[in-house]
Structure 1
Amino acid sequence: MNPTPSWLALRGRWAVPAASGLLILASLAGSRLAGSETWGDLLMVAAAVVAGAPVVRKALSALTARVIGIDLLVSVAAVGAVVIGEYWEAAAVTFLFTVGHALEDATLSRTRSALAELVAVAPDVAVVLRDGEQVEVPAARVGLEETVLVKNGAKVPVDGVVTGGTGALDEASITGESIPVEKTAGDRVFAGTVSTGGFLQVRATGVGADTTLARIIHRVEEAQDARARTQKFMDRFSAWYTPAIIVLAVGLGLLTRDVVLALTLLVIACPGALVISIPVSVVAGIGRGAKDGILVKGGEFLETSARIDAVALDKTGTLTQGRPRVTDVVVLDAAGGPGSVDEDEVLRYAARAEAGSEHPLARPVLEAAAARGLGTPGLPTRTEPVPGQGIVAHLDGHRVAVGNLALLRAEQVVGSEEDGQAARVVADLARRGRTPMVVACDGHAVGVVAVADEIRPDAPEMVRRLHAAGVRKVVMLTGDVEPVARAVGDAVGIDEVRAGLLPEDKLEAVEALRAQGYTVAMVGDGVNDAPALATADIGVAMGAAGTGVAIETADIALMKDDLLKLPEALSLARRTVTTMRQNIAIALATVAVLMLGVLLGGVTMSVGMLVHEASVLVVIANAMRLLRRRASAAPGGPRTPAPGGDVPRGPSRRTGHPQHV
């Protein structure tokens, strides 16, 4: 980044207070050394004019827009002080006010550091492979589908997919994750991330303003400028408060005939700390979240998130991995069947039959067979899908059926009776949340293969941290059937499980929670959960780094697919709102004490302004504490693995139960 603009801004920020301060020093020196009160007074008036001119201009500009603000109070007080001969008070008030503004501007810039850092990581150039040659071009000039080369230490200039090479990327600017992520062919990469080793060839899928980084910068800009509900109230309060103070000061002056007292009241009653208490907290909170991969839509949503006391979660892909796998292979007594079989033989029968199936659970069976090194040579001679029950395949002269008990009974398979061994094993696996598929060969049940999804390792810890952060109820809303949903809920620690839901049922469930008085956050995949996400007080999109729509539309977008980011986001919102309240209390207490001091005597105009500006800096410093990274994002220490580990994807047509919605 070019340092010149920052240096010019710094010079401009301090130019007026520096000139005014030098004139004040010259006035004091002239009065004492030269013994000339006239020269001292002239220099003091000059100091007041230099510092006060920008303030008066802002006040007049605000008046043309029918806004009565703090600048008007200071302008009236300074001009009045000059008129009655209180030159030192006029100079001191305007000087301290401009110093306060300069410090305020500097510290507000500091709170926006997250946005500045995001802009700083935006890449300037890219190395593109064109006609077999490496060509360096501006990052914005890279074309879609072009191949970009990312070398060790270089920034990734585009969003894209790795087509060749291996390497590690620091993705902290996008996801907040400080540990570099290994990338190989097929993996997604994001503009602004930095290579920490290796060499990657990347096919560009997003360039310029269409990259994830550009969308994040745009979102943070909008969010930091958006006003919170409390801030809007404070703006309305200030619009009435400032004229009221002017009327009070005029009334006090007429009543006491003490112009200095009236002008002093104008100065110390300035609600500067009150006005800045909300925006500086919002900017700092949103900035901290952006650094940690948590994008909040604006101050209003930050405030609402602080009140969240119920969280609704989808199951598949949120609490679970969303990738089913074979968890059990059970051998049955196949009396009169094809001879002695073992687990591998049962799995091989199932895999060969599933090789001709389009069912979603066919893939995990085939993957399990491949992982065990079991060959599945050739496709079945013929396959007969049986809707809602399973599949029948002809393999090397054998008739193999894979499905639920209804299929086996239709096939008149021995062992499929209600009190048979197969039925007992199926019932036991279903109780444990598995999706069982019975395997039969030539009319005899030989085994049962069970498929399940896995709980995310950090799901139980996420629920525990949500409770520790003040969430009273965590609810799972899922399309799976009750036994499966209950198995997941019990393993994770969910307070309430609602199963067998269609998208419109999830919407009604969220509405019911809100009707009970809860402030609800809904976490889902944004597709079949869209109605519920829109109905909830806060819609949360997880793993939004690769989804431009989620970044732009979600109330909270968690860039990394990390469940623990959810309690971290709610904790950040609560800390931000607490800081806002602390700042309001500091501002109001300062004004109250100063006003009491003026009425009782002892607080001069310059002392009042000094304390006032000090309160502004205290408010800003308090808000800046939000920018510090906490040692633990949420109460509770390290992540803990899920007990058990395996949970179901959901009963399918193979068990006679409906598949996951």
Structure 2
Amino acid sequence: MSKWFNRHLNQLMYISGALISIGIVAGILGYSEITNITFIVATIAAIGPIINKAWMALTMKSFSIELLITIAVIGAMFIQEYTEAAIVTFLFLFGAYLEKRTLNKTRSSIQSLVDMAPATAIVIRDGEEMELDVDEVEAGDHVIVRPGGKVPVDGIILSGQAHINEAAITGESNLRFKAEDAEVFSGSVLDSGYIELTATKVGEDTTFSKIIELVEEAQEKKSSTEKFLNTFAQYYTPAIVVLAIVVYFLTRNLHLAITFLVIACPGALIIGAPVAYVAGIGNGAKNGALIKGGEVIDNFAKVDTVIFDKTGTLTEGSPTVTDITIFDDTDEENFLRQVANVEMVSEHHLGQTIVKEAKSKSIAVDKSTVEDAEAIKGKGVSGIFEGAEYIIGNKKLMEDHNIEFDAETEEKYIDQQKAGNTAIFVARDNRIIGIVSIMDKIRQDVFTAIQTLRDKGVGSLVMLTGDNYHSAKKVSDILGLDGFHAELMPDDKMKYIEDEKERGRKVMMVGDGINDAPALAFADVGIAMGHGGTDIAMETADVVLMGSRMEQLAHGFTISKMTYRVMLQNTAIALLTVALLLGGVLYGYIHLASGMLIHEVSILLVILNAMRLRKIKEHVPKERKLQERYS
């Protein structure tokens, strides 16, 4: 029966509306009997779906709005108020129809993501080219993507090159040039070019599928506000029934009692918060900021302290080797070969930079040639290569192993730090043989993001980094941060966040989602630079910036504050509507039909208020004084 009502809901609404129109015309012409008959039939046509939903709620031991309407309409029919019974049922169905349409629009952001999903893939198997459903593609398959086609899976380019639009992943439509060995993501579109790739992640494991899953889960997660309102409604609705009975026994006025039932319906109160969160989360996802639920939005909106990691967050995360200093007679090529092979064990940006530098000079590196390789968290790496023990990392790592510094080494180390470089020591058999200097550029979009955070009320902006003091100070000074702490271990970052939270601060941590994972999880709001969607970023952070752009952070913060404000506005609208309706009933200004109309208008009003969030776009000013200072 429920399926039948769902399929024919609109038809029943149209029939009810048509019969009411006929009844009104008949009444004007003086045919009162026809008027009563058409209103009764109109009520019967419209009441079916309402009774069905009320019954379903009762079977689950829940009092619903539909139950209040059902009781009120039956009461109206009993006292022969056929006009009001017909109008109330019609308005309820019409309101539900409008709610469904407008709610669908608030969910359009997630629908647009789903629509971007590729349906088929061209795969080469056994030397033959074939078109398969995307769910049939397996990891390791050889996939072809032609101009205008969608990349169906995550993979690595085997051959070819193309300009690719990754808007489905990053939220930005700028074309990216990719060639052999580059990583591509499902849902991306080839604007021009041709590529062949090896599938690495397929089906539900692709980055694009995970994005859709995250957004869908986020829209279902309830904030503490929503949970409170839902709990409130569970007690509020039956209380209204009891109060209506009390009103009847006190006044002996059945019409007043059933009017009380209708106008006290908490429809706008129940729907006001969820529709705001759905619209806000959808907007964030569309612009590359994945916000994981209403609770995150509430916390995000209240942030007053922002803590940044440096490498890969405030800087581009694409550092380059700027200088190599060698203190013995090892030639540079052999020195770089030794260091790069040991650094193969590292997942940190700096270690990978050295490996990349070696490869760019056609120096062979092989992780398997290193014995006892170990990545030492927050300090560096160690391992045995060609019979010699290597320790490569920061000054703390050298001190931990009691490796001494001579005057020349100390002087070179300080000079490189003051120049803004990160100096990495290379020790062989407990003696420092060289220093590799690495520099990373500050992200250009950091300036606008910092200014937006300040404009939106963030009081403290601090950088925590494991990098050296001089390099950290230079970045902090350029960006105009409120403070910085250098040469920190991951545990030190956790301790700093804990201290800030104990002071009553609402702390947001922004990191790369890899070595900052503990701090991201511990902060009130953890923001991960997605780097195209790393698994650890997806799992650990409360918000993932899929384009790894700081402008997405600024947009996410803006949309969260606006969503929270809209949620409060909707709650106020709902409570004010109920208060005005109750006052109107007590003074005789509001009756059954007009009360129902105002109730439905209030629901539409909170939905339309939330829909404003869909139109908020990422705003990036063309010029900033800080950017001019940087340039």
TM normalised by structure 1 equals: 0.80
Deviation at 1:76, TM superposition (A): 1.2
SS in 2 for 1:564: helix
> Secondary structure of the residue that 1:528 maps to in structure 2?
coil
Structure 1 residues 513-554: Cα deviation after superposition (integer angstroms, max 9, x where no partner):
111111112222333322212211122221253323432442
Deviation at 1:215, TM superposition (A): 1.2
* Cα distance change, pair 71–129 in 1 and its aligned pair in 2 (3 A): same
Aligned counterpart, 1:619: 606
CA deviation map 1:449-488 (0-9, x unaligned): 9543322222333222222222211222222232332222
Is the CA contact 2:464–2:488 (under 8 Å) kept in the aligned structure 1?
yes
Where does residue 116 of structure 2 map in the other structure? 121
**Partners of 1:75 and 1:407 in 2: how far apart?**
85
Q: Which of 59, 63, 68 pairs up with 1:64?
A: 59
More displaced stretch, 357-366 vs 584-593: 357-366
How far residue 213 of structure 1 moved from its aligned partner, in angstroms, is 1.5
Question: 1:312 maps to what in 2?
Answer: 307
The answer to whether structure 1 residue 548 and structure 2 residue 543 are counterparts is no
TM-superposed CA distance for 1:428, in Å, is 4.8
The residue identity in structure 1 corresponding to 2:80 is G
Q: Do residues 20 (structure 1) and 16 (structure 2) align? A: yes
Counterpart of 1:358 (choices 301, 322, 339) is 339
Query: How far apart in 2 are the matches of 1:369 and 1:247?
Result: 79
Would you say the 8 A contact 2:517–2:536 is kept in 1? Answer: no
User: Could you tell me whether the CA contact under 8 Å between 2:160 and 2:179 is conserved in 1?
Assistant: yes
Contact 2:517 2:540 in 1 (8 A): no
Give CA deviations for 1:242-296 in whole Å, capped at 9, x if unaligned.
2232233222222222221221121111111111101111111111111111111
Q: Does 1:191 align with 2:178?
A: no
1:494 to 470, 481, 502: 481
Whole-angstrom distance in 1 between the partners of 2:330 and 2:126 = 51
Say if 1:61 and 1:506 are closer, same or farther in 2 by CA, change over 3 A: same
Cα pair distance change 1:437/1:462, threshold 3 Å = same
Gaps of 5+ in 1: 1-7, 331-344, 376-381, 391-404, 410-415, 417-421, 439-446, 646-661
1:575 to 540, 543, 562: 562
Aligned ranges 1:79-158 → 2 under 5 Å: 79-158=74-153
Q: Give the 5 Å matches for 1:292-311.
A: 292-311=287-306
* One-letter amino acid of the counterpart of residue 127, structure 1: I
**Quick one: distance in 2 between partners of 1:186 and 1:478?**
31
> Can you give the 5+ residue segments of structure 2 that lack an aligned partner in the other structure?
344-349, 364-385, 395-402, 426-433
Report the CA distance between 1:85 and its aligned residue.
Answer: 0.7
Deviation readout 1:586-642 (Å, 9 max, x if unpaired): 111112112111111121211111111111111101101111142616x88669648
Q: Give yes or no for contact 1:124–1:139 (8 Å, CA) kept in 2.
A: yes
2:551 is aligned, of 556, 559, 564, to: 564
- When Rg is computed on C-alpha atoms for both structures, the one with the higher figure is 1
1:520 matched residue in structure 2: 507
What is the count of residue pairs matched by the alignment?
582
Q: 1:180 aligns with which of 171, 175, 178?
A: 175
SS in 2 for 1:500: coil
CA shift, 1:352, in A, is: 4.6
Q: Check the 8 A contact 1:310/1:474 in 2, yes or no.
A: yes
Does 1:263 pair with 2:263?
no
Alpha-carbon separation, structure 1, partners of 2:261 and 2:84: 13
Contact 1:158–1:204 (8 Å) recurs in 2: yes
Deviation, structure 1 residue 123: 1.3
Partner of 1:243: 238
CA contact (8 A) 2:269 2:570 kept: yes
SS of match in other structure, 2:481: coil
User: Is residue 460 of structure 2 the alignment partner of residue 465 of structure 1?
Assistant: no
Deviation per residue, 1:101-157 (Å, 9 max, x gap): 111111111111122112211111111122333211111111211111111111111
CA distance in 2, matches of 1:189, 1:149: 12
8 Å CA contact 1:478–1:501 kept in 2: the answer is yes
Query: What residue number does 1:216 align with?
Result: 211
Contact 2:521 2:540 in 1 (8 A): no
Q: Give 2:453's aligned amino acid.
A: L
CA distance in 1, matches of 2:532, 2:393: 39
Structure 1 pair 427/522, CA: closer, same or farther in 2 (3 Å)?
closer
Q: CA deviation at 1:42?
A: 1.9
Cα 1:431–1:192, aligned 2, differ >3 Å: closer, same or farther?
closer
1:165 to 160, 167, 188: 160
Determine the C-alpha separation between the residues in 2 that align with 1:129 and 1:9.
48
SS at match of 2:513: coil
> Aligned partners of 2:313 and 2:509: how far apart in 1?
11
Normalised TM-score (structure 2): 0.84
Residues 81, 224 of structure 1: alpha-carbon distance in 2 compared, 3 angstrom cutoff: same
1:485–1:194: structure 2 CA closer, same or farther, 3 Å change rule? same
- Residue type at the aligned position of 1:176: G
The one-character-per-residue Cα deviations of 1:38-59 (angstroms, maximum 9, x if unpaired) are 2321221111121112112212
CA contact (8 A) 1:458 1:640 kept: no
State whether residues 356 and 383 of structure 1, in contact with CA within 8 Å, keep that contact through their aligned partners in structure 2.
no
Partners of 2:359 and 2:24 lie apart in 1 by 90
In structure 1, give the amino acid aligned to 2:11. Answer: A
Identify if the C-alpha distance between structure 1 residues 257 and 173 changes in structure 2 by more than 3 Å, giving closer, same or farther: same
Q: Is contact 1:56-1:72 (8 Å) kept?
A: yes
Change (3 A) 1:71 1:208: same
Say whether the 8 Å CA contact 1:544–1:557 is kept in structure 2: no
- Kept in 1, the 8 Å contact 2:153–2:203? The answer is yes
Residues 408/532 of structure 1: CA separation in 2 closer, same or farther (3 Å cut): closer
Q: Once the 2 structures are TM-superposed, how far is the Cα of residue 406 of structure 1 from its aligned partner?
A: 6.8
Write the distance in 1 (CA, Å) between the matches of 2:355 and 2:93. Answer: 73
Question: What amino acid is aligned across from residue 619 of structure 1 in structure 2?
Answer: V
> Residue 594 and residue 217 in structure 1: after superposition, are their counterparts in 2 closer, same or farther (change >3 A)?
same
Distance 1:268 1:191, change over 3 A: same
For the 8 Å contact 1:350–1:365, the answer to whether it is kept is no
Q: Does the Cα contact within 8 Å between 2:555 and 2:618 map onto a contact in 1?
A: no
Q: Which amino acid aligns with 2:121?
A: A
Q: Cα distance 1:105–1:366, how it changes in 2: closer, same or farther (>3 A)? A: closer
CA contact (8 A) 1:463 1:493 kept: no
Who is 1:333 aligned against?
none
Distance 1:370 1:544 in 2: 22
Question: 1:508 matched to which residue of 2?
Answer: 495
Question: Percent of counterpart pairs with the same letter?
Answer: 41
Name the CA distance, whole Å, in 2 between partners of 1:209 and 1:352.
Answer: 44
Q: Is 1:125–1:139's contact at 8 Å kept on the other side of the alignment?
A: yes
What is the alpha-carbon distance in structure 2 between the residues aligned to residue 276 and residue 187 of structure 1? 45
Could you say if the C-alpha distance between residues 350 and 571 of structure 1 is closer, same or farther in structure 2, counting changes exceeding 3 Å? farther
Alignment partners' CA distance in 2, 1:64 and 1:17: 25
2:154/2:207 contact within 8 Å kept: yes
| Partner-residue secondary structure (3-state), 1:358 | helix
2:12 and 2:393 map into 1 onto residues whose CA distance is 82
CA distance in 1, matches of 2:236, 2:275: 20
Task: Check 1:369–1:269 CA distance in 2 against 1; reply closer, same or farther (3 A cut).
Answer: closer
Q: Distance in 2 between matches of 1:435 and 1:637?
A: 30
Aligned partner of residue 550 in structure 2, secondary structure: coil
Q: Distance in 1 between matches of 2:393 and 2:282?
A: 54
2:337 and 2:358 in contact (8 A); partners too: no
